[in-house]
Amino acid sequence: MRKSYNSEQAKKYITVTLYLRNPEVGEFALNRNTKLPPAAVDSTIFDHATISFRTSNGEIYMTSAIHTGRMTMSRANRSNLSAGTFEFTAVSNLDPNKTVRVTAGRFDRKQ
């Protein structure tokens, strides 16, 4: 499951992407270094979260083995409905001293 959520924060649009290899009900750790789709081979992509800002120059904040989080899928079914919560800390791909923290995130998805 890959889903992006757009939000407006201080007039800056951000995109939060949650990626799960096997979307099913349960809790998932976002705690591994991974490559990003679409350039990466599927076997090298692990559960992760990213944040990007519309105004950035290619800067992406991403979870890793050091900057971790979790996602809880509370509902998932064959009708492509899912819901859950998430929280994580992500680090910039351009500056390892820059991080963002997301808390009390929630999603409802219907595809």
Which two three-digit tokens encode residue 45? 């992509």
Q: Is 1 helix (H, G, I), strand (E, B) or coil?
A: coil
- The Cβ of residue 28 has, within 10 Å, a number of other Cβ atoms equal to 21
At 12, list the tokens.
């800056």
Most confident of 23-32, 67-76, 90-99: 90-99
Q: Please report the pLDDT score of residue 67 as a whole number.
A: 97
Tokens in use for 91? 């680090």
Rounded distance, CA 66 to CA 110, Å? 32
What is the CA 80 to chain-centroid distance, rounded?
A: 19
Q: What is the pLDDT of residue 48?
A: 93
Q: Which domain holds residue 84?
A: 2-110
Residue 48 and residue 106: Cα distance in Å, rounded?
16
Domain count, the chain: 1
pTM (2 d.p.): 0.79
Interval 31-51: pLDDT, tens:
999 988 777 888 888 999 999
